[in-house]
Structure 1
Amino acid sequence: MKSKKLLGSVGVITAAALSLVACGKSADNGNTNEAKKASKFPIEVPKKETKQGGTVKLAIESDSPFTGIFSEELSTTKTDSDVVAPGAESLFDVNDTYQINDKGPATMKINKKDKTVTVTIKKGVKWSDGKQVTAKDYEYAYEIIANKATQSERYTSQLAFLKGLEEYHEGKSKTISGFEMPDGENGRTAVLHFKELKPGMYNSGNGYFWEAVAPYHYLKDVPFSKLNSSDKIRKKPLYFGPYQVSKVVRGQSVTWVPNKYYWRGKPKLDKVVSQVVSSNSTSQAIKSHKFDIADVINTQWKQVKDTKGVNFVAKIPLQYSYLGFKVGKWDAKHSKNVMDKNAKMNNKSLRQAIGYAMNISSVYKKYTGGLTFHVTTLIPPQFGDYHNSDIKGYTYNLKKANQLLDKAGYKKKGKWRVQPNGKPLKIHLLAAGGDATRGPIIQNYIQQWHKIGLNVSLVGGRLAEANSFFDKIKNDDPSVDMFMAGWSMSSEPSPADFFAEGSPFNYQRFVTPEQTKLLNSLDSQKAFNHKYRVEKFHEWQKYMFDQAFIIPTRNSYAITAVNNKLTGYSLKPTHGNSLWYEVGYKK
């Protein structure tokens, strides 16, 4: 179970971790035949007795090479996360509602009175070189994140609730005062002292404490500034999960072999090969059995649904895709988002009109038969009563879009509307490439915006390459006015990691006193009261719908094709951490 934010590549997002993608797919009608079939798919393959041995080929769907940053603390792409799944393991296992339990590599105890979280790593949890995972490995992960020399995007104002982390981040202290190791660096216990505890801390993915470790003994000789590019990260990373890296073909594949020190026992397979395949080649690869495990791209479902020799498993993942508007910049010096009141897209009526002009439902009914569907709010229904079902989202309404623009002073001069100050209005959209339907879908939206007189065009006149897309988003490229992306979310509903003033992942750079007040209320001491927290979640969703700095668009059934000779493959949260230990061939 990954519980951190991850930038992902275009297409279907399947991890229950946060990832930025370039998207724009959606269809409201979940009652079509295809959607009905998908909803009836099992969440795991049939359980059978497992034999030892065999190789599994894992498809990594990406239209760009993976970056190969094999570090939880430094990586931000979902593609990298997918590549390392056979070796990477979180500190904590969870139950099916994502609450942390004691079954994983480490246990966690919260002391409300002392405002501490005690993490104890189990004896026998060893790196693939045989070294026991220690408390120092946990502290070192925090150091990588918080030391400015690494340029990690993982440092957030949420993690800074750990006492002393902010001072370490600012270079005012050489150690993290709130990180206590009662048995010393080589012990297995860490006591984390917080400024205050948060209601989401019982769940994985809460964003307030880190859930991974880094091998201090292996990496300590590498300067923080060179960690990202070092061979120890890029070519020969250490993991304590079931498999270890045997071979890396840069940007294309990673071969994994069993970690003989794995704490749960001996993994079932001899080898796992994570290999990149382009989105346009995925359906053919599934039909020809080139891979043993491959995610189905929903626009290609009809091409693969009758494939013999595979089991299809599916779930609706914690994710949404969205249209985001750039309204500011990231201030690296002060580690915060700074909003520009004069930004081109900093007009609520303009953003709302753009949302109402999108024919999301009909597009995805056409291309996926309902396997992709409209999302109405930023907290998905999987989060139960935290989801505000009263919000109906931005449904297709050209009349309303035109009225909003007229009233806000965006008058037409010829074919196009101009800004309220009379200057020309040109809006540049950034969207990344994908499968063969990607271009037509994006062009469809551009045509809808043209219908309401908005001169929208793609940045550079074409769909962006994925790595270039991420670079432009993260670095606030001035050529970008709005962008199509998405998050694969962590498993605790608090959105602070996405939208807080101190979050690098707030790519819109949207900061208002109202937003900050609402975000703080969601994770406040009062929010230990469930009813209060639900009320504040509903308020926040309503505020975000009204402000429209980010307009959620779609989610999809995540369907995976699994070789029917395999057993142990499951999409249940309880199996997230131990999945690759359990996968093997049937006897």
Structure 2
Amino acid sequence: MKKSKILSSIGVVTAAALTLVACGKGSNDSSNQGANTASKFSESVPKKTAKQGGTLKVAVRSDTPFTGIFSDELYTVQTDAQVAEPGEEALFDTDDNFKINDKGAATLKLDVQDKTATITVKKGVKWSDGKQVTAKDLEYSYEILANKKTASQRYSSQLENIEGMKEYHNGQAKTISGIEMPDGENGRQIVLHFKQMKPGMYNSGNGYFWETAAPYHYLKDVPFAKLQSSDKIRKHPMYFGPFKLAKLVRGESATWVPNKYYWRGTPKLDKIVISVLSSNSTSQSIKDHKFDVVNAINAQWDQVKDTKDVNFVAQIPIQYNYLGFKVGKWDAKKDKNVMDPKSKMNNKALRQAIGYAMNVDAVDKRYTEGLSFRVPTLIPAQFGDYFDKNAKSYSYNLKKANEILDKAGYKKKGKWRVQPNGKPLVINYMTRQGDSTKEPIQQNYIQQWHKIGLNVKLLGGRPTEFNSFEDKLQHDDPSVDMFEAGWGLASEPSPNNLYGETSPMNYSRFVTPENTKLLSEIDSTKSFNHKYRVQKFHEWQEYMNDQAYTIPTDNSYTIYAINDKITGYSLRPSQNSNGHQLWGQVGFVK
């Protein structure tokens, strides 16, 4: 997921997915539904000879302005990643199974016995000011992540597997002892020293080492506490990808021009203009050909599918939407999630009943033209045998939901059920802004919960604007009891940095000894044995489904409408840079 997991305004999307054929494999109804739809789409536009020049107009679908945090270490939402993509490039390229290869800006060498990873940047990989990307730039990205003054949400316990990382994070050391620069700061190589080697380290998105760099020579004079708000991050960011930022209309658009020092060669386009496009305007903009690249809306597929002079490409991203329950808070002093045993939602029976009352299959069929489908676990089917196809999921069953609540002591007093202690029960539900189907879908779920006697109210009476939604989640707003959200996942399936005790992105704030144990086993040295790791993944999915602190709901095709005069655009992992579109190879047909 690509470098890490990211909260998204729609659902999610941070990592390129497997091929559509592979995504369709699976025995459950939802997977088969996806397989039947897969034949409609290709992952790439036709390959043709591209000419030099031209301005590409790209729409990023969002119902809120992008925040404009142009830093891999600091941003958390999808729109910022999308707007930054022309300048972005990861250190590593991968094959179609997300295994890191030597074709990218840097190479990786793992030594399991010595517990090291050696990362070497290729000569000629330069920032947009012409400076070579150095060892210090690699080290500096870890400092941004780990220094508490940056308030980075991307720091996780997985990074503490690097020697000295935790000490640096806690302010007990001025440097990270486990990062060695054999040729000095101006060299091109770092050696990471780990406490343990992990089975996912051969794949991108593993969370144990960072996969981008930060321009130390450019940012070094900015104090860590001011990085996120600085003009060098917000207005004039620096990348080593194919383009550099030339103009920014805050929250609305970004204009990118070629990075003349780009290591893969001169980009074909003269300019890329990326603009925010509201959901309600998306289908009409496709039909009117206002943009060359537009992310279509599944619910509007019937309106746009016959549009001429457009190639539709699609993927099933490694992502899912979910229902989360607030059962604790983030303790900033202890850097960990702390559960509240007295939390209103800290009752398994209540959470399970809420899950069984959701008619996800009917909703997806009604509103998304079959392009969204229910998912049974928090591990997507794209991860092959790590996905537990036999896991017991929350299919629609009102009778079972009522029985669970009755047995748990949630008795009805009039229209609504009360808590087992006899006190009134009101559940405040937060949902995100979205397209025109968003509110009716969420009101449908609320009505389903009303059917089982639960007094669920939509927070604020309407979907929450996304930036406010994210703020309430991250800061554990006490007005939120449960919420719907989504994750775009890394291309290495470990769930540790989303659901671990020390993960800031564990927004439900649940922590149990069993969960900690299973997550540890998934990433242990024993899990170099594939069968053992598969077993632990299956145990974790069964445990999470049973406990229902986070209930997976559905996933969706991501469909792009591409001007048929465009070539070089592809969603295949091997033709991207670890999830980033390689915009340098995109151009207009001769």
TM-score (norm 1): 0.97
> 1: distance between equivalents of 2:362 and 2:259?
48
TM-align CA RMSD:
1.4
Task: Name the counterpart of 2:22.
Answer: none
User: Any conservation in 2 of the 1:180–1:191 contact (CA below 8 Å)?
Assistant: yes
SS in 2 for 1:274: strand
SS in 1 for 2:520: helix
> 1: distance between equivalents of 2:67 and 2:561?
25
Q: Does 2:583 correspond to 1:580?
A: yes
Matches within 5 A, 1:101-250: 101-250=101-250
Instruction: Give the CA deviation at 1:50.
Output: 1.0
> 2: distance between equivalents of 1:281 and 1:437?
13
SS in 2 for 1:477: coil
> 2: distance between equivalents of 1:579 and 1:147?
31
- AA at the equivalent of 2:343: A
Task: Name the counterpart of 1:349.
Answer: 349
Task: Name the counterpart of 1:85.
Answer: 85
Name whichever of 40-49 and 572-581 sits farther off. Answer: 572-581
Instruction: Give the CA deviation at 1:518.
Output: 0.3
Query: Unaligned regions of 5+ residues in structure 1, if any?
Result: 19-26
Task: Name the counterpart of 2:522.
Answer: 522
User: Any conservation in 1 of the 2:44–2:572 contact (CA below 8 Å)?
Assistant: yes
> 2: distance between equivalents of 1:31 and 1:192?
43
- AA at the equivalent of 2:586: V
Instruction: Give the CA deviation at 1:35.
Output: 7.6
SS in 2 for 1:262: coil
Instruction: Give the CA deviation at 1:517.
Output: 0.3
> 1: distance between equivalents of 2:293 and 2:340?
45
SS in 2 for 1:427: strand
The C-alpha deviation readout for 1:501-547, integer Å capped at 9, x for no partner, is: 01011001010000000000000010000000000100000000100
SS in 2 for 1:50: coil
> 2: distance between equivalents of 1:37 and 1:107?
37
> 2: distance between equivalents of 1:468 and 1:17?
27
Q: Is the alpha carbon distance of 1:75 and 1:313 closer, same or farther for their aligned partners in structure 2, counting shifts above 3 Å? A: same
SS in 1 for 2:303: helix
Instruction: Give the CA deviation at 1:391.
Output: 1.3
> 2: distance between equivalents of 1:39 and 1:174?
54
Task: Name the counterpart of 1:473.
Answer: 473
Identical-pair percentage: 68
SS in 2 for 1:129: coil
User: Any conservation in 2 of the 1:353–1:401 contact (CA below 8 Å)?
Assistant: yes
> 1: distance between equivalents of 2:588 and 2:8?
29
The C-alpha deviation readout for 1:283-320, integer Å capped at 9, x for no partner, is: 11111111100111100101110111110011111000
> 1: distance between equivalents of 2:324 and 2:455?
17
User: Any conservation in 2 of the 1:311–1:564 contact (CA below 8 Å)?
Assistant: yes
> 2: distance between equivalents of 1:340 and 1:180?
41
Task: Name the counterpart of 2:340.
Answer: 340
Q: Does 2:540 correspond to 1:537?
A: no
Instruction: Give the CA deviation at 1:276.
Output: 0.2
Instruction: Give the CA deviation at 1:155.
Output: 1.2
SS in 1 for 2:157: coil
> 2: distance between equivalents of 1:424 and 1:46?
60
User: Any conservation in 1 of the 2:5–2:14 contact (CA below 8 Å)?
Assistant: no
Q: Does 2:18 correspond to 1:15?
A: no
- AA at the equivalent of 2:516: T
The C-alpha deviation readout for 1:137-179, integer Å capped at 9, x for no partner, is: 0110001111111111111110111101111111111011000
Matches within 5 A, 1:357-396: 357-396=357-396
User: Any conservation in 2 of the 1:28–1:370 contact (CA below 8 Å)?
Assistant: no
User: Any conservation in 1 of the 2:16–2:317 contact (CA below 8 Å)?
Assistant: no
> 1: distance between equivalents of 2:392 and 2:366?
21
Task: Name the counterpart of 1:459.
Answer: 459
Task: Name the counterpart of 1:310.
Answer: 310
The C-alpha deviation readout for 1:368-411, integer Å capped at 9, x for no partner, is: 12110000001111000000000141000000000000000000
User: Any conservation in 2 of the 1:28–1:361 contact (CA below 8 Å)?
Assistant: no
Instruction: Give the CA deviation at 1:10.
Output: 2.4
> 2: distance between equivalents of 1:394 and 1:37?
23
> 2: distance between equivalents of 1:117 and 1:581?
29
User: Any conservation in 2 of the 1:163–1:194 contact (CA below 8 Å)?
Assistant: yes
SS in 1 for 2:485: strand
The C-alpha deviation readout for 1:483-508, integer Å capped at 9, x for no partner, is: 00010111001000110001011001
> 2: distance between equivalents of 1:114 and 1:261?
36
Task: Name the counterpart of 1:22.
Answer: none
Instruction: Give the CA deviation at 1:14.
Output: 3.9
SS in 2 for 1:166: helix
- AA at the equivalent of 2:262: Y
> 2: distance between equivalents of 1:513 and 1:280?
45
- AA at the equivalent of 1:337: N
Instruction: Give the CA deviation at 1:576.
Output: 1.8
> 2: distance between equivalents of 1:17 and 1:564?
22
- AA at the equivalent of 1:583: V
SS in 2 for 1:551: strand
Q: Does 2:54 correspond to 1:54?
A: yes
Query: Unaligned regions of 5+ residues in structure 2, if any?
Result: 18-27
> 2: distance between equivalents of 1:5 and 1:65?
21
SS in 2 for 1:158: helix
User: Any conservation in 1 of the 2:161–2:208 contact (CA below 8 Å)?
Assistant: yes
Aligned length: 577
Instruction: Give the CA deviation at 1:113.
Output: 1.0
The C-alpha deviation readout for 1:92-111, integer Å capped at 9, x for no partner, is: 00000000000000000000
> 2: distance between equivalents of 1:509 and 1:39?
40
Matches within 5 A, 1:415-454: 415-454=415-454
Instruction: Give the CA deviation at 1:37.
Output: 4.8
Matches within 5 A, 1:405-424: 405-424=405-424
Instruction: Give the CA deviation at 1:412.
Output: 0.2
> 2: distance between equivalents of 1:307 and 1:17?
26
- AA at the equivalent of 1:586: V
Q: Is the alpha carbon distance of 1:7 and 1:30 closer, same or farther for their aligned partners in structure 2, counting shifts above 3 Å? A: closer
> 1: distance between equivalents of 2:29 and 2:445?
16
> 1: distance between equivalents of 2:510 and 2:584?
42
Q: Is the alpha carbon distance of 1:8 and 1:162 closer, same or farther for their aligned partners in structure 2, counting shifts above 3 Å? A: same
The C-alpha deviation readout for 1:191-232, integer Å capped at 9, x for no partner, is: 000111100000000011111110000000011111111100
- AA at the equivalent of 1:404: I
Q: Is the alpha carbon distance of 1:29 and 1:203 closer, same or farther for their aligned partners in structure 2, counting shifts above 3 Å? A: closer
SS in 1 for 2:265: coil
Matches within 5 A, 1:323-338: 323-338=323-338
